[in-house]
Structure 1
Amino acid sequence: MAIGVISDIHGSLQRFIKAYDFLKDTEFILCAGDVLYHGPRNPLPEGYDPAGLAKYLKSIKQKIYIARGNCDAEVDETFLGIPFFSPFFLTEYRGKKLMVVHDFEKLKENYLELADIVIHGHSHVWQIEKFSNCILLNPGSPSLPKGFEPVPTIAIIDRDIKIIDIVTGNVVKTVGDLRKE
């Protein structure tokens, strides 16, 4: 079974519901932070409803593991009833070590030795690339995408890693067979 990866939801219930169409059959969900609020630098995302999003997140079937983002407050953790891990969260999937952190730039370089895949957010720009001895994965943002061609995205990790456009359902990028790496 696959795992879902999301980041930078920023309180958009509408966009999370759309993203959840792709995440609903995953074993669990990893979130790289910025769950309920948009922060002072971001515009209000379409479908902004932090209270509705919190209620929806409490109702989903999978466990969700969240690395605290710069827009996440302690009260969010209490309100959701889901722990926020800081500065990162570690887990394992199919023999691969995964680390989830919000802002990759604040991660100490020696931490990279702890993981095969480092999942991060903060930039709102999707990314899959080799870095040092690991794969860097940023699922982008379903709510406030940024970059050259801003596309609302999430990621799915199964035998490969896919970045998915939640509006069209198209796979934006795939990185090979994780069994071989």
Structure 2
Amino acid sequence: MRIGIISDTHRFTAAIDKTIPYLKDCDLIVHAGDNIDDTYYIEAVTDVPVVAVKGNCDFYSDPGKDEETFMAEDKKVFVCHGHNYGIKYTLSDLQKRAADLDIDIVIFGHSHVPCYEERDGVIFINPGSPSLPRGGSSKGLGILDIKNGEITYERIKI
């Protein structure tokens, strides 16, 4: 299963358009919040289903979930924006949540800084932002491949 991961798009359609060639080839797209309304556009132009959660800037958006859990092949995936877990300071609270839910992969956003880290057998992924990168990072998105239990991840700069 090929999963496109995007976050913190903030209604910058020109930046989103640069991600579309990569997202079109995915089986699923995950949007980790800020601006969840962008997912309507992404789904329409890619024709790929989108799993999305609300971020701290989505207070005016239509109802959406703050967290989502789903299975990707044999891996349990947890998606949140991250602002409710203090991810700009530490991944500890998010790591505890992952342990409580028996999660294999955590996808989050909020910091606009890319991250790929494994802690106690759990993979934590933040794709950064295609529109407003921070921390010296480049604009980008992530591609997660899960095949026969094997996980590979690539961050793509746009």
TM over 0.5: yes
Letter in 2 for 1:27: D
Identify which of 121, 133, 144 aligns with 1:133: 121
- In the alignment, what sits opposite 1:158? 145
Matches of 2:128 and 2:9 in 1, distance apart? 10
- In the alignment, what sits opposite 1:112? 98
Shift of 1:55: 6.2
Letter in 2 for 1:85: K
Per the alignment, do residues 131 and 72 of structure 1 end up closer, same or farther by CA in structure 2, a change over 3 Å counting?
same
- In the alignment, what sits opposite 2:42? 57
Shift of 1:101: 0.7
DSSP 3-state at the match of 2:52: strand
Give ranges in structure 1 of 5+ residues lacking alignment.
Answer: 37-49, 78-82, 167-181
Matches of 1:98 and 1:31 in 2, distance apart? 13
Q: Could you state the TM-score of these two structures normalised by the residue count of structure 1?
A: 0.71
Q: Could you state the TM-score of these two structures normalised by the residue count of structure 2?
A: 0.81
Shift of 1:108: 5.4
DSSP 3-state at the match of 1:121: coil
Identity within the alignment, %:
35
Give ranges in structure 2 of 5+ residues lacking alignment.
Answer: 87-92, 147-151
Per the alignment, do residues 108 and 155 of structure 1 end up closer, same or farther by CA in structure 2, a change over 3 Å counting?
closer
Contact 1:3 1:28 in 2 (8 A): yes
Q: C-alpha offsets along residues 64-123 of structure 1, whole Å, 9 cap, x if unaligned?
A: 11111000124x22xxxxx6211x110111211111110163455532122111011000
Shift of 1:133: 3.0
Contact 1:97 1:116 in 2 (8 A): yes
DSSP 3-state at the match of 2:34: coil
